[in-house]
A and B are shown apart, each in its own frame.
Chain A
Amino acid sequence: MELEQKLDRLFAAYRSAFPDPAPSAAFTPGIWNKIEARRRQTFVMSWTRKLMVASASLCFVFGMFLITPFPNGASPLATYLDFLDDEHDREVVAELHQIPGQTQLDEAGQPILVEEE
């Protein structure tokens, strides 16, 4: 019991060893500076988060676009010429494939149709 009372007295002494101090002149301006700093930080963070969400959404959409097969079986990566290759006359396509300087010509000067293996 005596020890309990001594502890109470010690807590009371502790209370008076820490009176409510007067704040320094920089106290309130310091609070506003910290509030401003945190506001800026929050602003940057929120935009960073928005950008990250937008990037992730775009990646998802493009990913889905690449993964999803086309209804007619064509690859989404196929070029226009590949498409023509599949759908049109091979001779027409061969002419479209000809690149100046690399085209093989026959003796009459006509382009040679190179058969694909």
Chain B
Amino acid sequence: MLVDFELVKRAQGGEDAAYNQLIQAYRKRILGTIGRLIGKPEDVEDVAQEVFVRLYFSLDQLREPEMFEPWLHRLTVNSAYDYLRKQRRRNESRMSDLSEQQVVMADAVASSNRNIEDNRKAQVRELVGSLLSEVSEEDRLLLTLKEVEGLSLKELEKVYKVNENALKVRLFRARQRVLKAFGRLQGENAVLAEHFTGGRAVEPDSSNE
């Protein structure tokens, strides 16, 4: 817990200064979590602001201040989920306007403009993003919280208010689907997959330049 319970209670009582302190304490962590959940750095601040706005208006419903962090996690997951759903609808309509070749060319131009390290990070993000697109938005968020954010099953139980066994089953199924997609990708492009999992940086593809 990054803040004491007293501060949470003061914020619940409508003290704006206390709420401001809550924002200062958690904003960096929330920004990071949202970045990893949605995979779009450019939209992270907007979604994180939405989390804090929702927190402000729902804080009075929090009965036990000890549950503040799971509560905040739940709001984060919900906001990320809403964003992903909207994004999927937007992408469906936008991508349908472009031919496949145009999409590939747009990706290539974007890739060639980044430097090596940024390029590697962007490729990791794209690779994981495409693997996570194999599962539903709900499972994507759950898997990211467990595998990337490192939340324990106990913590996830508090966030989702679902019993541990049900979470284990969902996580297992989601991971199996991602593994299957990863295996397929390795079969198709072993060199690419090896670059990311072997810890070696990827040089930008000269054919794109």
Contacts and interface: CB of A to CB of B under 8 A. Distances in A.
A6 B45 contact: no
11 contacts: A6-B193, A6-B197, A9-B198, A21-B31, A21-B44, A23-B28, A31-B49, A31-B56, A34-B50, A35-B56, A35-B57
A10 B128 contact: yes
Contacts of B29: 20
Contact-residue size bin, chain A (C-beta under 8 Å from the other chain): 20 to 34
B32 A14 contact: no
- The secondary structure that dominates the A interface is helix
Interface residues of B, number: 42
B48 A14 contact: no
Interface in A10-41: 10-11, 13-15, 17-24, 27-28, 30-31, 34-35, 38
Contact of B28 (A18, A21, A34): A21
Contacts of B36: 14-15, 18
Contacts of A7: 175, 178-179, 182, 197
Given A18-B121, A23-B45, A34-B53, 17 more contacts: A3-B182, A3-B183, A7-B175, A7-B178, A9-B196, A10-B127, A10-B197, A11-B128, A11-B148, A13-B197, A18-B32, A20-B29, A21-B32, A27-B45, A27-B49, A28-B27, A31-B23
The 4 closest A-B pairs by CB, nearest first: A20-B32, A17-B121, A6-B197, A14-B128
A4 interface: yes
Contacts of A34: 49-50, 53
Dominant secondary structure at the B interface: helix
Nearest to B44: A21
B69 to A, nearest CB: 16
B163 interface: no
A16 B110 CA distance: 21
Contact of B182 (A10, A21, A27): A10
B18 to A, nearest CB: 14
